[in-house]
Amino acid sequence: MSQPNVLILRAPGTNCDQETGYAFELAGGTAGFAHINQLIEKPKLIKDYQILCLPGGFSYGDDIAAGRVLASQMQSRLADVLAEFHADGKLILGICNGFQILIKSGFLLPPDEQGLPATLTWNENGRFIDCWVNLKTDNDKCVFLNGVEQMYLPIAHAEGKFVPRNEAILNQLSANHQLALKYCRPGGLNGFVPFPHNPNGSTAHVAGICDETGRIFGLMPHPERHIDPTHHPRWTREGLAERGDGFAVFENAVQYFF
């Protein structure tokens, strides 16, 4: 394979698709775009792709709850297709609204007899938050975070608070290295992470999780908004890095197929 094909899935209200496609192409992939209705009408088109990405935005205006409408569509109309896609060893990435969709559809954390193991709900302060955050990784399992220890990325969401159903599920996810990305204080310091370093009050400071295989990953921060080093808000004072921190997420996904 010369270049992995990436399907960027759109819906009414999606608004980060072009930036996400650009990031994947910069990393060496070939990006294609499809509306959710196109995939529902012709589900076999996904067979031409190795990576599926659900980008950020406000799909269907975040009616009912953030990502819930599109999550329901995927669950009811595309469950078998996406299960086969994942079983074939391919990758799925959900960014911000995409993360909300993946977790509420059950594709990221499959439901059990009691329902979904975790969800994403309103930020602790009940407001939309737009800022930059420090992040540290558990990259033992997640394909997208291979070789990454820390990142500095922007967030922009109102419903990004990660809440597990109970402590047992949280401990299980942690032991299984599925709590792949966490908010932290500058320098990656451990311990209690207060606001604004944990901007939404997420349990255990969780900013992103992966599935048991490490091939499905959802995160609230926007890696596509820190691709070029000049995206960093303090680059004129701190100097230019070689590349933006978010680029590694897309590069790892593309390199996985080589």
Compute φ and ψ for 115, nearest 5 degrees.
110, -155
Average pLDDT over residues 200-222: 98
pLDDT number for residue 1: 56
Q: Which long-range contacts (CB under 8 A, 24 or more apart) does 186-195 make?
A: 186/134, 187/134, 188/134, 188/136, 188/149, 188/150, 195/124, 195/125
Q: Which of 16, 53, 96, 142 is catalytic?
A: 96
* Exposure string over 28-57, b if 16+ CB within 10 A, otherwise e: bbbbebbebeebeeebeebeebbbbbbbbb
Report residue 17 as tokens.
Answer: 């698709």
Residue 2's pLDDT band (cuts 50, 70, 90): confident
pLDDT at residue 191 tops 90: no
Report residue 201 as tokens.
Answer: 């009050």
pLDDT at residue 185 tops 70: yes
- CB atoms inside a 10 Å sphere around CB 230: 12
SS3 48: helix
In CATH terms, the superfamily for domain 5-255 is Class I glutamine amidotransferase (GATase) domain (3.40.50.880)
Distance CA 61, CA 67 (A): 9
The pTM score is 0.97
Closest by CA position to 199, among listed 235, 166, 241, 154:
154
For 112-222, where are the alpha helices, taking DSSP H only? 167-175
Q: Which of 53, 142, 210, 224 is catalytic?
A: 224
Q: What confidence tens digit (pLDDT) does each residue in 89-135 have?
A: 999 999 999 999 999 999 999 999 999 999 999 999 999 999 999 99
Cis amide leading into 199 (omega within 30): no
pLDDT number for residue 139: 87
Residue 215's pLDDT band (cuts 50, 70, 90): very high
CB 181 within 8 A of CB 116: no
Q: Which of 222, 226, 231, 232 is catalytic?
A: 222
Q: Is 222 a catalytic residue?
A: yes
Average pLDDT over residues 167-195: 92
Q: Is 96 a catalytic residue?
A: yes
Distance CA 200, CA 221 (A): 12
* Sequence ranges of the domains in the chain: 5-255
CB 7 within 8 A of CB 51: yes
